[in-house]
Structure 1
Amino acid sequence: MSAPGNEPKRQKKVLTLHEKVELLDKLKDGKSYATVGRHYGLNESTVRYIKKNEKEIRSSVASAFCGSAKMVNVVRDKTIVRMESALAFWIQDLRKKNIPLDTKMICTKARNLYAQFTTDADEFRASKGWFDHFVRRYQIRSANFHGEAASADTDAAANYPETFKQLITENGYKPEQVFNMDETALFWKKMASRTFIMKDEMKAPGFIAQKDRFTLIMCGNAAGWMMKPGLIYKSANPRALKNKNKNALPVFWMHNSKAWITKVLSSNWFYQSFIPQAREYLREKGMPFQVLLLMDNAAGHAVDLRHEGVRIEFLPPNTTSLLQPMDQGVICAFKALYMGNCLQQLVDAIDGDENFQLKVYWRNFTISSCLTVIHKALQDMKEETLNLIGGDGFDDITHEVINELVDAPSQPLTDQDLAELTQSGSENEPKEQEDPSQEDEEDEGLTLERLADLTQAAKQLQENVKSWDPYMVCVLQFSNAIDSAMSTYKTLFTSMKKQRGQLPITMFITNIKKCLTRPEKIRHRLPTPEVRRVEEWP
């Protein structure tokens, strides 16, 4: 008799897909997990696991050509694999320069890399499911810098909705006549509070934050219409808005030494901005000027505001975060859109400038640039988001809008460098030489160089108008028209860039020993983690 510790190990039993379907059919007929497990010689936990994956198993059997197969392997798209490898290089490169990343930046870069690596018409969407699998495959995690919590009077908030409903019923207010106003501070030179780092990094170091701040007064009605916001800046005439007409800005301009709302400024906004805009809006709708304005009881709000046809209702104290519609997602959605547009401009600047430095970028980001982003964010807001009656639609909005200002000490990897890093061996083979006469023929018409000059000229034209025209609203309309007119040429420019062949990275790598015996000039590219940089031979 053998010792208890010398018993032979039980062999693992793997069922075929056809047997798994038969097992699932027995469970479907009402047999217990234990009975089915004894029939196939399996543990009950294994039977439950097969039952858990019933949908995938039946789907695999329906599409499989071999009934005796025990598993199905899915071959991934080579272009997506190459794109993900380049994306991982890009993330690691930006983390070395302490540039924060968020989900939108990574997904946008993934779509751009996929479009560069293929000419296929199928569009890569960079969905949430792909993103979750990508960070799991490359062991990337999200690190939070810090956060904050708030408290509110829940009892008063629970009793007020009935009071408000009675007020609406008694006075017969329509959704177009019910407005809500709230102010918020916007740190307009800060980025997201989270970034993505590699697994071997313990934390994301922070830096001294830029404290450039102003106050925005947001106001909209229950029908989903948002009026031009008020802006309180620390200076009456900043250098970036020199020779600009303040009445033609996309915001109602006000100033205060602390850039915060006061009773005088709230009164100026009420009489000079809210009343004219609300009156014009209701006149276009063919409705009488009967308005209900909801406000909180902040110290900076004037309490003696009076105007014919306007009723001001103050919310109970300490209930703003629970009751005020603007705090239920409208301001949060605006800040998320503002942050998204800022990050998109940052990504474009990184891709377009090989000598990109984050400090220089933020130094050139003035209050004039900020107003342009505010105007774009307001245009991107959906009517469903602005509908102050409902409370849905804000599950995907992030509340982190604060980040540290970071430095980029060296050059980020360009798309061309990422493409060369992920080229396969077959792509490194030299291409056949083209006929010079054909090159002369291809030079005619819209060449890649001419399209690049055309794009640069359009950008320069937008910059000139921005610096010359004092009416910012007209400048924004002109810039949008130029972007719309150039969209076709930009698409053609991107397509031609993909069609132009790229030189393999191996052409820029030379063995050092051969260099010492054969003094020839060596071209060098950007250094990579795997390749030692070879300086040019004198």
Structure 2
Amino acid sequence: MKVECVFELARLYTKPQSTIATIVAKKTAIKEAVLAKGATLFSKQRSQAIEDVERLLLVWINEKQIAGDSISQAIICEKARKLHDDLIRKMPATSDDVSEFKASKGWFERFKNRSGIHSVTRHGEAASSDHKVAEKYVQEFNEYIDSEGLKPEQVFNCDETGLFWKKMPNRTYITQEEKALPGHKPMKDMLTLLMCANASGDCKVKPLLVYHSKTPSVFRKNNVLKANLCVLWRANSKAWVTRDFFYDWLHHAFAPTVKNYLIEKKLDLKCLLELDYAPGHPSDVAERLSAEMSFIKVKFWPPNTTPLLQPMGQQVISNFKKLYTKAMFERCFVVTSETQLTLREFWRDHFSILSCVNIMGKAWEEVTKRTLNSAWKKLWPECVDKRDFEGFEANPVNPMPVEESIAALGKSLGLEVSGEDVKELVEEDNEELTTDELLDHLQQQEARPEETASEEGIEKLRKLPTSKIKEMCAMWLKVQTFFDENHPHTAIASRVGNLYTDNVVKHFRNVIKEREVQASMDRYVVRQRSSDSQAGPSGIKRRREVTPEKDLPPQVLMEGDSPSKH
């Protein structure tokens, strides 16, 4: 690389020219290295195993944040040690990368600074304090319900859950075959569902489904209109519920459904929506509701109480997953009975995301009013139907437990499935991801391209002046700092702010860097052309009449050159 270019890059990034030259010399090794987010040091002392640990750890922390779980320094360090041990076991015995990793306090502080994570407590939070906060909130909630005169029909709760939509119990031979197929892991294909119903259990809202594909090929082949699906279909590369998707669902699904339901029931046009502090549920959601949705009031669970109180987490979602698995087995049985397809052929070639959506709709319909109503017994026991106790349900939909029903269907398909297998399958979706699953998630995230930007959006960004982008980025930094320092729930403010920074602001910061590098290169090219145009007829370039101190620093002047010669 020309010395002028090194000088320009050093001036642009305010780094010594020797540093820039070293980076350029080692560019191949640097490009091949896979570094954790925020890592600025590249040395032999920092092993690839530790880099991988930090990358997987960020995936795990994101999953925890989405679930609204609290994590402490001790929990993160313990998870880091486990990840490191698992990765070391996968390495060849002769690997030079095997080293002791203590996940010390110093490492944690450096990891925290590199990755930008803030919503982490210093010490483990006592479970007793969570219970005390939960008990206090139950009292506040019931007082609010009484003061507002709300009925069970007017109170709603929603929650997200991940679903591995093409996953069977581990002992089935289909599962074994899928594991044996290199590079083929449909069982790990996950989507996120947002589900919502009221406390009386007789109003279910259309679920929000977020997948990593905006229009799957099976939709195009079958001319599927997404507006006609039993879910509100949205997509992004990580299959996560975002703030925009949540507002979209409120506007297109929740508000119209609840409004029509309340009018039909001849109830006052007002409702309460109970939420947790997931990243997709911004704390200002109530303030951003349009005038036509002003009848919606929003309350948030206190931090760390969601698992104790949230109705959707009290067997509603797990019951839905059991019913989904049951409907999936029924579909397998019907197709293999009525066609020449074997179960293996159907599962491999014909069970698609469209099949999943149709089965999902059936499963959601089969979640009973009793299940939805009884889920409120911890938060609002007075709203639970007193006549609806164990053994006296008026119209039992299925007297056989769901697990046993699935096991019976499995056996009719020639599979060795027990009720315990089904229970394990449903519970696995709620457990934290293993090291192998985190690796799969990371590979999927890195392999999937981001959603394609529109031509209009690209053109609009191209016309934005760099000064305006810099101004907005600086303004965002001030806003984020203000909210982090003054929000009553610091962890929530930091978590949501960091997600916004990583997914939105970071793009504009990259645009600034790209433009500055390009401008530097353009200046270099212009100078080179200007220099070439001054060459004489013999093709020998004449020296530029410039002051060396302004053009090139003394340490890059060629031997024999000096200011006095010009």
TM-score with structure 2 setting the length: 0.40
TM-score with structure 1 setting the length: 0.42
Select the structure that is richer in helix. 2
Larger Rg: 1
